[in-house]
Amino acid sequence: MTNNLRNKLLIGFGLGFAVFVGLMLYADVREVTALLKEFRWRLLPAVLVLTLVNYFLRGARFHYYLQQLGINTVPFWVSLRIFIGGFALTLTPGKVGELVRVVWLKNLAGIDPVKAAPSTIVDRIVDGLAMAVLALLGVLVFPRYRPVVLVILGVIIAVVTLLQFRPLVLRLLNYGARLPVVARFAHSLHTLYDATYELLRLKNLLIGLGIGLISWSAEGLAFYLVLLGLNIPASLNLALLSIFTLALGSILGGISSMPGGLGATEASMTGMLQLLVGLPENLAATATLLIRFFTLWFGVSLGILTVAIWRKLLFGKRQAVPLESYPTPAE
Protein backbone atom coordinates (compact mmCIF):
# COMPACT_ATOMS: atom_id res chain seq x y z
CA MET A 1 0.00 0.00 0.00
CA THR A 2 1.53 3.30 -1.06
CA ASN A 3 1.81 6.23 1.32
CA ASN A 4 -0.52 8.23 -0.94
CA LEU A 5 -3.25 5.58 -0.71
CA ARG A 6 -2.71 5.18 3.01
CA ASN A 7 -3.12 8.92 3.49
CA LYS A 8 -6.36 8.90 1.50
CA LEU A 9 -7.68 6.09 3.68
CA LEU A 10 -6.77 7.98 6.83
CA ILE A 11 -8.66 10.98 5.47
CA GLY A 12 -11.65 8.71 4.79
CA PHE A 13 -11.64 7.31 8.32
CA GLY A 14 -11.23 10.82 9.74
CA LEU A 15 -14.16 12.06 7.67
CA GLY A 16 -16.23 9.07 8.81
CA PHE A 17 -15.55 9.96 12.43
CA ALA A 18 -16.46 13.60 11.75
CA VAL A 19 -19.77 12.53 10.14
CA PHE A 20 -20.52 10.30 13.14
CA VAL A 21 -19.86 13.13 15.59
CA GLY A 22 -21.88 15.56 13.46
CA LEU A 23 -24.94 13.31 13.38
CA MET A 24 -24.68 12.64 17.11
CA LEU A 25 -24.58 16.36 17.85
CA TYR A 26 -27.38 17.09 15.36
CA ALA A 27 -29.69 14.56 16.97
CA ASP A 28 -28.51 15.09 20.58
CA VAL A 29 -26.11 12.49 21.96
CA ARG A 30 -28.35 11.56 24.91
CA GLU A 31 -31.40 10.97 22.71
CA VAL A 32 -29.44 8.85 20.23
CA THR A 33 -27.97 6.82 23.10
CA ALA A 34 -31.46 6.22 24.50
CA LEU A 35 -32.74 5.10 21.09
CA LEU A 36 -29.82 2.71 20.68
CA LYS A 37 -30.65 1.14 24.03
CA GLU A 38 -34.25 0.65 22.94
CA PHE A 39 -33.31 -0.73 19.51
CA ARG A 40 -34.52 -4.31 18.94
CA TRP A 41 -31.08 -5.85 18.57
CA ARG A 42 -32.57 -9.28 17.85
CA LEU A 43 -33.11 -7.95 14.31
CA LEU A 44 -29.37 -7.41 13.83
CA PRO A 45 -28.60 -10.91 12.44
CA ALA A 46 -31.29 -10.49 9.76
CA VAL A 47 -29.95 -7.03 8.86
CA LEU A 48 -26.41 -8.38 8.45
CA VAL A 49 -27.62 -11.40 6.45
CA LEU A 50 -29.40 -9.10 3.99
CA THR A 51 -26.24 -7.01 3.70
CA LEU A 52 -24.22 -10.17 3.04
CA VAL A 53 -26.73 -11.16 0.34
CA ASN A 54 -25.93 -7.85 -1.36
CA TYR A 55 -22.17 -8.51 -1.18
CA PHE A 56 -22.44 -12.14 -2.30
CA LEU A 57 -24.62 -11.38 -5.33
CA ARG A 58 -22.39 -8.51 -6.43
CA GLY A 59 -19.34 -10.71 -5.90
CA ALA A 60 -20.94 -13.34 -8.13
CA ARG A 61 -21.53 -10.65 -10.76
CA PHE A 62 -17.86 -9.64 -10.51
CA HIS A 63 -16.88 -13.27 -11.23
CA TYR A 64 -19.32 -13.36 -14.14
CA TYR A 65 -17.79 -10.19 -15.56
CA LEU A 66 -14.32 -11.72 -15.38
CA GLN A 67 -15.52 -14.75 -17.30
CA GLN A 68 -17.13 -12.55 -19.96
CA LEU A 69 -13.76 -10.86 -20.41
CA GLY A 70 -12.14 -14.25 -21.05
CA ILE A 71 -10.55 -14.39 -17.58
CA ASN A 72 -11.35 -18.00 -16.73
CA THR A 73 -8.37 -18.92 -14.53
CA VAL A 74 -9.75 -17.40 -11.32
CA PRO A 75 -12.07 -19.70 -9.30
CA PHE A 76 -15.30 -18.29 -7.89
CA TRP A 77 -14.20 -18.22 -4.25
CA VAL A 78 -10.98 -16.43 -5.15
CA SER A 79 -13.00 -13.87 -7.17
CA LEU A 80 -15.26 -13.37 -4.16
CA ARG A 81 -12.27 -12.74 -1.88
CA ILE A 82 -10.88 -10.22 -4.34
CA PHE A 83 -14.25 -8.47 -4.58
CA ILE A 84 -14.83 -8.33 -0.81
CA GLY A 85 -11.20 -7.35 -0.17
CA GLY A 86 -11.74 -4.31 -2.38
CA PHE A 87 -14.15 -2.94 0.24
CA ALA A 88 -11.12 -2.25 2.42
CA LEU A 89 -10.40 0.68 0.09
CA THR A 90 -13.98 1.94 -0.21
CA LEU A 91 -13.06 5.01 1.85
CA THR A 92 -11.16 6.62 -1.01
CA PRO A 93 -12.54 9.48 -3.16
CA GLY A 94 -15.06 8.04 -5.61
CA LYS A 95 -14.16 4.57 -4.27
CA VAL A 96 -11.31 4.48 -6.82
CA GLY A 97 -9.28 2.48 -4.31
CA GLU A 98 -11.48 -0.52 -5.14
CA LEU A 99 -9.53 -0.75 -8.41
CA VAL A 100 -6.87 -2.47 -6.29
CA ARG A 101 -8.73 -5.62 -7.38
CA VAL A 102 -7.04 -5.42 -10.77
CA VAL A 103 -3.65 -5.34 -9.05
CA TRP A 104 -4.57 -8.48 -7.13
CA LEU A 105 -5.70 -10.18 -10.34
CA LYS A 106 -2.33 -9.37 -11.87
CA ASN A 107 -0.52 -10.75 -8.81
CA LEU A 108 -2.62 -13.91 -8.80
CA ALA A 109 -2.82 -14.80 -12.46
CA GLY A 110 -0.81 -12.30 -14.46
CA ILE A 111 -3.98 -10.68 -15.84
CA ASP A 112 -3.59 -7.36 -17.67
CA PRO A 113 -4.94 -4.69 -15.27
CA VAL A 114 -6.33 -2.65 -18.17
CA LYS A 115 -8.34 -5.62 -19.42
CA ALA A 116 -9.63 -6.44 -15.91
CA ALA A 117 -10.43 -2.85 -14.84
CA PRO A 118 -13.92 -2.78 -16.45
CA SER A 119 -15.00 -5.58 -14.08
CA THR A 120 -14.92 -2.92 -11.35
CA ILE A 121 -15.76 0.15 -13.46
CA VAL A 122 -18.86 -1.42 -15.02
CA ASP A 123 -19.80 -2.76 -11.58
CA ARG A 124 -20.09 0.86 -10.38
CA ILE A 125 -22.01 1.96 -13.50
CA VAL A 126 -24.51 -0.90 -13.29
CA ASP A 127 -24.95 -0.41 -9.54
CA GLY A 128 -25.74 3.25 -10.20
CA LEU A 129 -28.28 2.23 -12.84
CA ALA A 130 -29.88 -0.35 -10.52
CA MET A 131 -30.19 2.14 -7.67
CA ALA A 132 -31.61 4.75 -10.04
CA VAL A 133 -34.27 2.25 -11.20
CA LEU A 134 -35.13 1.43 -7.57
CA ALA A 135 -35.32 5.15 -6.78
CA LEU A 136 -37.57 5.64 -9.82
CA LEU A 137 -39.95 3.01 -8.45
CA GLY A 138 -39.91 4.90 -5.17
CA VAL A 139 -40.91 8.22 -6.73
CA LEU A 140 -44.16 6.60 -7.84
CA VAL A 141 -45.06 6.80 -4.16
CA PHE A 142 -42.90 9.80 -3.27
CA PRO A 143 -43.03 12.11 -6.34
CA ARG A 144 -41.18 14.97 -4.64
CA TYR A 145 -37.81 13.63 -5.81
CA ARG A 146 -38.92 12.71 -9.35
CA PRO A 147 -36.89 15.44 -11.19
CA VAL A 148 -33.67 14.47 -9.37
CA VAL A 149 -34.12 10.75 -10.03
CA LEU A 150 -35.05 11.27 -13.69
CA VAL A 151 -31.96 13.42 -14.31
CA ILE A 152 -29.66 10.86 -12.66
CA LEU A 153 -31.25 7.96 -14.52
CA GLY A 154 -31.08 9.88 -17.79
CA VAL A 155 -27.37 10.64 -17.37
CA ILE A 156 -26.50 7.01 -16.61
CA ILE A 157 -28.56 5.73 -19.56
CA ALA A 158 -26.90 8.33 -21.81
CA VAL A 159 -23.42 7.19 -20.77
CA VAL A 160 -24.25 3.50 -21.30
CA THR A 161 -25.87 4.27 -24.66
CA LEU A 162 -22.92 6.37 -25.82
CA LEU A 163 -20.49 3.57 -24.99
CA GLN A 164 -22.51 1.25 -27.23
CA PHE A 165 -21.93 3.49 -30.30
CA ARG A 166 -18.74 1.65 -31.10
CA PRO A 167 -17.83 3.45 -34.39
CA LEU A 168 -18.18 6.85 -32.71
CA VAL A 169 -16.12 5.90 -29.65
CA LEU A 170 -13.41 4.26 -31.78
CA ARG A 171 -13.26 7.37 -33.94
CA LEU A 172 -12.79 9.52 -30.83
CA LEU A 173 -10.10 7.17 -29.53
CA ASN A 174 -8.28 7.24 -32.86
CA TYR A 175 -8.47 11.02 -32.88
CA GLY A 176 -7.12 11.13 -29.34
CA ALA A 177 -4.26 8.83 -30.32
CA ARG A 178 -2.92 11.64 -32.51
CA LEU A 179 -2.57 13.93 -29.51
CA PRO A 180 0.89 13.85 -27.87
CA VAL A 181 -0.34 13.30 -24.32
CA VAL A 182 -2.94 10.66 -25.20
CA ALA A 183 -0.86 8.78 -27.79
CA ARG A 184 1.20 6.92 -25.20
CA PHE A 185 -1.99 5.49 -23.67
CA ALA A 186 -3.81 4.79 -26.95
CA HIS A 187 -3.42 1.01 -26.88
CA SER A 188 -4.52 0.79 -23.24
CA LEU A 189 -7.55 2.99 -23.92
CA HIS A 190 -8.61 0.71 -26.79
CA THR A 191 -8.23 -2.36 -24.54
CA LEU A 192 -10.18 -0.66 -21.77
CA TYR A 193 -12.98 0.35 -24.11
CA ASP A 194 -13.23 -3.10 -25.77
CA ALA A 195 -13.64 -4.76 -22.37
CA THR A 196 -16.15 -2.12 -21.19
CA TYR A 197 -18.13 -2.47 -24.41
CA GLU A 198 -18.33 -6.24 -23.92
CA LEU A 199 -19.68 -5.94 -20.38
CA LEU A 200 -22.27 -3.34 -21.39
CA ARG A 201 -23.71 -5.36 -24.29
CA LEU A 202 -27.43 -5.97 -23.81
CA LYS A 203 -27.22 -9.51 -22.39
CA ASN A 204 -24.50 -8.67 -19.88
CA LEU A 205 -26.15 -5.36 -19.03
CA LEU A 206 -29.49 -7.01 -18.25
CA ILE A 207 -27.86 -9.76 -16.18
CA GLY A 208 -25.80 -7.22 -14.24
CA LEU A 209 -28.79 -4.93 -13.77
CA GLY A 210 -30.99 -7.82 -12.57
CA ILE A 211 -28.40 -8.82 -9.98
CA GLY A 212 -28.05 -5.19 -8.92
CA LEU A 213 -31.80 -4.75 -8.45
CA ILE A 214 -32.01 -7.85 -6.24
CA SER A 215 -28.85 -7.09 -4.25
CA TRP A 216 -29.68 -3.45 -3.53
CA SER A 217 -33.29 -4.34 -2.72
CA ALA A 218 -31.89 -6.71 -0.09
CA GLU A 219 -29.89 -3.87 1.44
CA GLY A 220 -32.95 -1.63 1.26
CA LEU A 221 -34.90 -4.25 3.21
CA ALA A 222 -32.08 -4.26 5.75
CA PHE A 223 -32.75 -0.55 6.21
CA TYR A 224 -36.45 -1.38 6.63
CA LEU A 225 -35.56 -3.75 9.47
CA VAL A 226 -33.48 -1.01 11.08
CA LEU A 227 -36.51 1.27 11.06
CA LEU A 228 -38.64 -1.51 12.54
CA GLY A 229 -35.97 -2.00 15.19
CA LEU A 230 -36.47 1.63 16.17
CA ASN A 231 -40.16 0.85 16.76
CA ILE A 232 -41.48 2.61 13.64
CA PRO A 233 -44.74 0.86 12.61
CA ALA A 234 -44.41 -1.64 9.77
CA SER A 235 -46.09 -0.88 6.44
CA LEU A 236 -45.60 -1.46 2.73
CA ASN A 237 -45.00 2.26 2.23
CA LEU A 238 -42.23 2.18 4.82
CA ALA A 239 -40.57 -0.77 3.04
CA LEU A 240 -40.72 1.10 -0.29
CA LEU A 241 -39.40 4.25 1.32
CA SER A 242 -36.52 2.34 2.90
CA ILE A 243 -35.39 1.02 -0.49
CA PHE A 244 -35.93 4.43 -2.10
CA THR A 245 -34.03 6.33 0.61
CA LEU A 246 -31.07 3.95 0.60
CA ALA A 247 -30.87 3.94 -3.21
CA LEU A 248 -31.13 7.70 -3.69
CA GLY A 249 -28.89 8.44 -0.71
CA SER A 250 -26.21 6.10 -2.09
CA ILE A 251 -26.44 7.72 -5.53
CA LEU A 252 -26.08 11.23 -4.11
CA GLY A 253 -23.16 10.05 -2.01
CA GLY A 254 -21.51 8.58 -5.10
CA ILE A 255 -22.03 11.79 -7.08
CA SER A 256 -20.34 13.75 -4.30
CA SER A 257 -17.13 11.72 -4.89
CA MET A 258 -16.48 11.89 -1.16
CA PRO A 259 -14.74 8.84 0.36
CA GLY A 260 -17.47 6.20 0.67
CA GLY A 261 -20.05 8.92 -0.03
CA LEU A 262 -19.49 10.09 3.54
CA GLY A 263 -21.41 13.17 4.53
CA ALA A 264 -23.58 13.44 1.42
CA THR A 265 -25.18 10.01 1.91
CA GLU A 266 -25.88 10.54 5.60
CA ALA A 267 -27.25 14.05 5.12
CA SER A 268 -29.57 13.05 2.26
CA MET A 269 -30.86 9.93 4.03
CA THR A 270 -31.50 11.79 7.27
CA GLY A 271 -33.28 14.59 5.40
CA MET A 272 -35.47 12.20 3.40
CA LEU A 273 -36.52 10.33 6.53
CA GLN A 274 -37.60 13.60 8.08
CA LEU A 275 -39.38 14.92 4.99
CA LEU A 276 -41.05 11.74 3.72
CA VAL A 277 -41.71 9.74 6.88
CA GLY A 278 -42.01 12.65 9.25
CA LEU A 279 -39.44 11.23 11.66
CA PRO A 280 -38.03 13.59 14.29
CA GLU A 281 -34.36 14.46 13.81
CA ASN A 282 -33.16 12.11 16.57
CA LEU A 283 -34.89 9.07 15.03
CA ALA A 284 -33.82 9.94 11.48
CA ALA A 285 -30.19 10.45 12.47
CA THR A 286 -30.11 7.26 14.56
CA ALA A 287 -31.59 5.18 11.73
CA THR A 288 -29.00 6.61 9.32
CA LEU A 289 -26.13 5.92 11.70
CA LEU A 290 -27.25 2.33 12.20
CA ILE A 291 -27.71 1.45 8.53
CA ARG A 292 -24.36 3.01 7.65
CA PHE A 293 -22.66 0.94 10.35
CA PHE A 294 -24.41 -2.21 9.12
CA THR A 295 -23.58 -1.57 5.45
CA LEU A 296 -20.65 0.78 4.74
CA TRP A 297 -18.63 0.10 7.88
CA PHE A 298 -19.55 -3.59 7.93
CA GLY A 299 -18.29 -3.84 4.34
CA VAL A 300 -15.07 -1.96 5.11
CA SER A 301 -14.47 -4.25 8.10
CA LEU A 302 -15.04 -7.36 5.98
CA GLY A 303 -12.66 -5.98 3.37
CA ILE A 304 -9.92 -5.32 5.93
CA LEU A 305 -10.45 -8.79 7.46
CA THR A 306 -10.25 -10.42 4.02
CA VAL A 307 -7.03 -8.61 3.18
CA ALA A 308 -5.56 -9.50 6.58
CA ILE A 309 -6.38 -13.21 6.26
CA TRP A 310 -5.34 -13.60 2.61
CA ARG A 311 -2.63 -10.95 2.51
CA LYS A 312 -0.05 -13.36 1.08
CA LEU A 313 -2.50 -14.53 -1.59
CA LEU A 314 -3.47 -11.01 -2.63
CA PHE A 315 -0.20 -9.14 -2.33
CA GLY A 316 2.28 -11.86 -3.24
CA LYS A 317 3.93 -12.29 -6.60
CA ARG A 318 2.18 -14.23 -9.34
CA GLN A 319 1.18 -17.60 -7.93
CA ALA A 320 3.24 -20.64 -8.85
CA VAL A 321 0.53 -22.84 -7.33
CA PRO A 322 -2.65 -23.19 -9.46
CA LEU A 323 -5.45 -21.02 -8.10
CA GLU A 324 -7.77 -24.04 -8.11
CA SER A 325 -5.72 -25.48 -5.24
CA TYR A 326 -6.70 -22.70 -2.83
CA PRO A 327 -9.30 -23.91 -0.33
CA THR A 328 -12.94 -22.88 -0.48
CA PRO A 329 -14.67 -21.68 2.72
CA ALA A 330 -16.06 -25.20 3.23
CA GLU A 331 -12.54 -26.58 3.34
Q: Kindly state whether residue 170 falls inside one of the protein's structural domains.
A: yes
Asked whether 54 and 84 are in contact (CB, 8 A), the reply is: no
- The Cα–Cα gap between 26 and 90 comes to 26
Condensed to tens digits (0 to 9), the pLDDT of residues 103-124 reads 889 888 888 888 899 999 999 9
| Winning range, highest mean pLDDT, from 92-101, 138-147, 216-225 | 216-225
Q: Give the residue with greater pLDDT, 20 vs 233.
A: 233
Most confident of 111-115, 121-125, 159-163, 207-211: 207-211
Burial of 169 (0-12, 13-18, 19+ CB in 10 A): middle
What percentage of the chain has pLDDT greater than the value 90? 40
Number of domains in the chain: 1
pLDDT at 202: 93
Q: What is the arithmetic mean of pLDDT over 231-250?
A: 91
Q: For residue 321, what pLDDT band results from cuts at 50, 70 and 90?
A: very low
pLDDT band at 209 (very low <50, low <70, confident <90, very high): very high
pLDDT of residue 69: 93
Q: Is the pLDDT higher at 16 or at 106?
A: 106
Confidence of residue 219 (pLDDT cuts 50, 70, 90): very high
Return the C-alpha torsion angle 286, 292, 294, 297, nearest 10: -130
In a domain, 23, yes or no: no
Does residue 56 form part of some domain?
A: yes
**Could you tell me if residue 18 is inside a domain?**
no
Average pLDDT of 291-295?
92
Q: Give the residue from 40, 52, 21, 111 showing the smallest Cα distance to 298.
A: 52
Cβ(258)–Cβ(264) under 8 Å?
yes
pLDDT confidence of residue 2? 54
Residue 29 domain-assigned? no
pLDDT, residue 171, reads 87
pLDDT of residue 320: 41
Residue 38 lies in a domain: no
pLDDT at site 186: 75
The confidence score (pLDDT) of residue 258 equals: 78
Within a domain: 32: no
Residues 307/314, Cβ–Cβ less than 8 Å: yes
21-34 confidence digits (pLDDT tens) = 787 777 778 888 88
Residue 175: pLDDT band with limits 50, 70, 90: confident
pLDDT at 325 over 50: no
Which residue range forms the structural domain that includes residue 102? Answer: 44-318
pLDDT at 231: 92
User: Is the pLDDT assigned to residue 200 strictly greater than 80?
Assistant: yes
Beta carbons of 55 and 84 less than 8 angstroms apart: yes
Whole-model pTM above 0.85? yes
Residue 330 clears pLDDT 60, i.e. is over it: no
Q: Please indicate, yes or no, if residue 20 is contained in any of the structural domains.
A: no
